[in-house]
Structures are given as C-alpha cells and as structure tokens.
Amino acid sequence: MEDNSFNSLIPFGPQHPVLPEPIQIKLVLEDEKIISAEPAIGYVHRGLEKLAEKKDIHQSIYVVERICGICSFMHALCYCQGLEELTGTEVPPRARYLRTIWGELHRTHSHLLWLGLMADSYGFESLFYQCWRIREKVLDIMEATAGSRVIISANILGGVRRDIGPDMLGHIQKTAKEIADSLRDIEKVFLNDYTVCHRTQGIGILTKEEAYELGAVGPVLRASGVPQDVRSLGYAAYGELDFEPATETAGDSYARTKVRLKELRNALSLIIQAAEKIPEGEISVKLARKPEGETVSRLEQPRGECLYYIKANGTDVLSRVRVRTPTFANIPALLKMLPGHQLSALPVILLSIDPCISCTER
C-alpha cells in the first residue's frame, strides 16, 4: 500500500490561544504526529540580570520581583536569602515564618492559576472559572496583608517589610481551611472526570531516569517519582514545620496534575501550621555588613527549584546576579515529552510543565 504520509514543519506560537506567554515550539510533524520539537525563545527578554547590576542591593529586590508576576515573592526571597548569607545576617524567627506564610500563599495562588489554565487547555471552561474563583480568596489575603494582590514586595534584606497581626493570622487559617474544603470539588473533576483523564493519562510521559537526566525540577520531577523538593533543606521556617514532598510515579500529565493538587493541600497545611507556631518578635534586622563574596541561593518556587548565583564586591552594587528559573530547567524535559504524540496533545503537555516564559528569559 502506498505511504501517503508526509513531514511538515509547524511553528506553534509565540501567539496561540493556549499560551499564556510567548514561546515558539518548532514542530516536525508526520501527518498529525509530532516527530521532533525545538524551542525558540527570546520574545520577552528584558535583561533584568543586567539591571540588577546597575541598581543597589535594596533596589534590586524590586527588579528581581519583576522577573515573574506569579512567583515574585519567591524571587525576592531567594535573592534576599543569598545576600543575607553573604553578609552573615540572621533573620529574626518571626520574619522567617512570615516569609513561609507568604511563600505558601504564592504557591497556592500559582497552582490554582495553573489548574485553571490546564482546564482551559482541554476546553473545560467552567472548571477554569472555579479554580480562579477559589484563587481570588488567596489574592484577597495578599492584598489585606501586603497591600497588593500579586507583586506584594514584602521582602527586604534582613526580614520582611510588614507584620501580620493575630486577627489576620486567624483569618488566614480560617480561609486556608475553607480553600481546602473547596478543593474537594475540583479535585474530583481533575482526578476522576472521564474527559479530563482521557486528555491527561498517558500523555507526555517522562520517566524517572529521563526527568533526572534532563535536569527537570519541581512538580515535573516529582511526578516522575523523584522526591526532590528544596524546601526539605529547611530554609525560612520549613525546617520547623511538618512537610513531605508530594510525589507520583506515572510521569504523565495526569501525575503532574495530581502532584500539584497534593502540593496545594501541603501549602494550605503549611500556612495553617506557620500561622499557629509563629513566634513573637522583630520582623527585620539591618544587614550585618556589606556583601562580599559569592554564593548560590536556592528555593522551591511553585514551578520548581530556583537558583540565584550572586557575586558581591563589598559595595552596595553587585557584580553579578544570575537567575536559573524552573521553566528554564524544564524545557529540555518538555522536548522529550512531545515526540510520538498527536498535535492535539501539545497544549496539554506544554501546560503540564506550567511554563513561565517571563521567568525563563528574565
């Protein structure tokens, strides 16, 4: 029988209804089947690492916060932790707990945002609305505690800018419990709905060995069975709270969804624990000295491990700030997941790594 199949090159993105941010995936297709994929980035490169070398160490917090709108707090925290290490500054315990609370609030709103976008990628609009409806409660807490809904600018070198009073801590605990209750309804759909399972199970499989070899991070790595979570290092207040990394073993889009659902519950639990255990005391201290030397600071963002390499020269202006964001690390894994799948599976697989291109390009 004559073989009528042919290869074609399809540029997917940078403008596409399913893409929240611009990335182009150059696809080689055999009919509708993906043979290979190559990423093209650079559409939103802003040179923020360079800008951080032009501003002083305090101003640069605002620069790194703008690397990503969704995990802005985490970027500032990673940067501050690095400089606090270089200056030998010990952050007060209350500030460490407040950082944990805001950090987990960011993880909660980021995962809810992602769940909504994931639902949208397979056309489940009502599920998308429900996820974002729940997310609003988190954004309301951030506005009430820090004055802004997303980029909250709560971190400063040596601690945090604002305190959270006992009434608000009680409100946060109550809201976290309400969100945990609301999650039950959307979890059922993400984990049991026939259509959702059909679109995610067995789609975009990444084995444990591949995930490790390709340097994957965060939920992508953990959904393939590697229980690696930088929070286990115990930065901020994580070392004093009860926490286990969420893992799955199937390595497909369904497993990545399941890991993020588990992490949502973990994040809410951490918020409640931190609000219960938070000690009294100062919320910031001055830096012990000018920063000098080199360090690597790491933390677990919603999308995975973030790394800052910081080089200081004893002045208020840093010699180098290098940022390795989670999506940057997950792109090679994405390229491994795509071949063999139909073009229609691409939006789901792409969304399953929770891509943040603003982060990636800085």
Partner 1 sequence: MLKNSKDITIDELISCVSNLKYRGFRFVTASCADNRDGTFSLYYHFDKQLELENIALTVSRDTAIPCITTLYLCAFLVENEMKELFGLTIENIAIDYEGRMFLTEDAPREPMTYGANILIERKEEES
- Interface residues with partner 1 (CB under 8 A) are 38, 41-42, 45, 47, 49-51, 54, 212-215, 228, 230, 232-233, 293-296, 298, 305, 307, 309, 311, 319-320, 322, 324, 328-329, 331-333, 361
| Residue closer to partner 1, measured from CB, 222 or 324 | 324
Cβ proximity to partner 1, 49 vs 187, nearer residue? 49
Tell me the C-alpha distance between 261 and 265, whole Å: 7
Rank residues 315 and 319 by Cβ distance to partner 1 and give the closer one. 319
Rounded to a whole number of angstroms, the minimum distance from the CB of residue 144 to partner 1 is: 31
Q: How far is the C-alpha of 25 from the C-alpha of 89, rounded, in Å?
A: 44
Direct distance between the N- and C-terminal alpha carbons of the chain, in angstroms, rounded to an integer: 52
- Cα–Cα distance for residue pair 350/247, rounded to 1 Å: 20
Q: How far is the CB of 110 from partner 1 (least distance, A)?
A: 21
Least separation in angstroms between CB 334 and partner 1: 11
Nearest distance from C-beta of residue 48 to partner 1, angstroms:
11
* Residue whose CB is less far from partner 1, 79 or 124: 79
Tell me the helix, strand and coil percentages in the chain, rounded to 5.
50, 15, 35
Q: How far is the CB of 188 from partner 1 (least distance, A)?
A: 34
Helix/strand/coil (H, E, C) string of 136-193? HHHHHHHHHHHCCCCCCCCEECCEECCCCCHHHHHHHHHHHHHHHHHHHHHHHHHHHC
**Which of 266, 232, 230 is closest to 246 using CA atoms?**
266
Please identify, using beta-carbon distances, which residue of 42 and 281 lies nearer to partner 1: 42
CB of 4 to partner 1, least distance (A): 31
Residue with smaller CB distance to partner 1, 45 or 174: 45
C-alpha pair distances (Å), 179 with each of 3, 73, 176, 187, 233: 54, 21, 5, 12, 27
Rounded Cα distance, 341 and 300, in Å? 30
